[in-house]
Amino acid sequence: MTSKPFRPGMVGLLRETAPRERRVALTPSDVKRLMGRMNICVEESAGTAAGFVDQAYAEAGAQLSGRAEILSTCDILLSVQPPEVIEELPRRSTLISLGGRDADLNRRLRERDITHLGLERLPRTSRAQAMDVLSSQATIAGYAAVMEGARVLDILLPMLTTAAGVIKPARMIALGGGVAGLQAIATARRLGAITHGFDVREAAREQIESLGAKFVFPEIALESTEGFGGYAREQSDDQQLRLRRALAAELTTMDLIITSAQIPGRAAPLLIDKETVVGLRKGSVIVDLAVESGGNCALTKANDIVDVGGVHILGPTNLSSLFATDASRLFSGNIRALLEYLLDKEDRFRLDASDPITRALLAEQVAPNTSTPTIGAEA
């Protein structure tokens, strides 16, 4: 693929159109920090659902406009979720948003000659850490998962000693020692629960135990489980079955189970099957954060609560949006870092296909030896 000619233009912040999406990709404080290096146009009411009013954007130096004007004048478009109507996006523009692993979305974008910097494709490297929206939003999701689980539980998380008697603390486990799982452990522990953590990667033990949780690792023989980029490697069906059977005994002692085990580009591993659910304590709660990639529990339904003999299984999607203000602040910080990274010394946007971060964001949109296109101009 040869480099595309990008005409000079502004950065446009779009209002979200996806259902249940309340976040905004850029907050007024980050707009203010960027204004010295680029021009930013904000769609009216873009940040309202997250608690950021139009006046704040105007005071930060942004130009407020309607959607049609932004789409007709801006070459670089920002959003959390990709717009629902792809056909409204101008041809040969650049979209920075989630959706990097959605094959159908990326096909439709390519058909319109739109360059998509899919944020899920950012590499898990120290250099890209400040831009890593998956980690920042997983932090919010881990916290939210515990709050949602506590809301449905029929017992309290902390131990209470009262004149009427003593209430024992709840027992909680996080299946998956990534960012979301670790945040879930930290949140549950702050709320007074007895916490546990599980991960197929032995390397996760130190992180789980550093939070004061007990590391649970069934004594079964598994091959190396370390995968690329810090993720777990996909296991065979037989390995997963043995793991589920070994985990079942531990799960029967838990009140709150948070699952977040995922493998990029693949279906989420099945950690809790129907047989295990039937054996859980009545009143216990499972919050399955992997529901969007198939779920870690066999009975999870997206955006629903399933009751199996008194065991409640929650399948919330986009949990980060429940805490839209802080989630947006973190997301915006990631986007600001990415925009600054893409600027050259003359404050022009460039997509350098030889750069590992940019190449990962572009994924299949570039070929070896692609020259460096300019995707904007100085402010």
Contacts of 323 (CB under 8 A, 6+ apart): 140, 143, 144
Which of 132, 199, 255, 288 is the catalytic position? 132
Question: How many Å apart are CA 208 and CA 174, to the nearest integer?
Answer: 9
Contacts of 164 (CB under 8 A, 6+ apart): none
The one catalytic residue in 65, 81, 93, 135 is 135
Residue type at position 320 = S
Active site residue 129: yes
Q: Does the annotation mark 132 as catalytic?
A: yes
Catalytic residue (one of 33, 124, 205, 245)? 124
Contacts of 103 (CB under 8 A, 6+ apart): none
Strand order in the sheet with 74-78: 63-65, 40-43, 10-13, 74-78, 94-97, 115-118
Q: Is 231 annotated in the active site?
A: yes
Q: CA 256, CA 280: separation in Å to the nearest integer?
A: 10
Q: What are phi and psi of 296, to 5 degrees?
A: -90, -15
Annotated active-site residue in 231, 255, 359, 365: 231
| The residue type at 214 | K
Whether 189 is a known active-site residue: answer: no
Distance CA 337, CA 191 (A): 33
Measure CA 172 to chain center.
Answer: 22
Q: Which amino acids are annotated catalytic?
A: 124, 129, 132, 135, 231
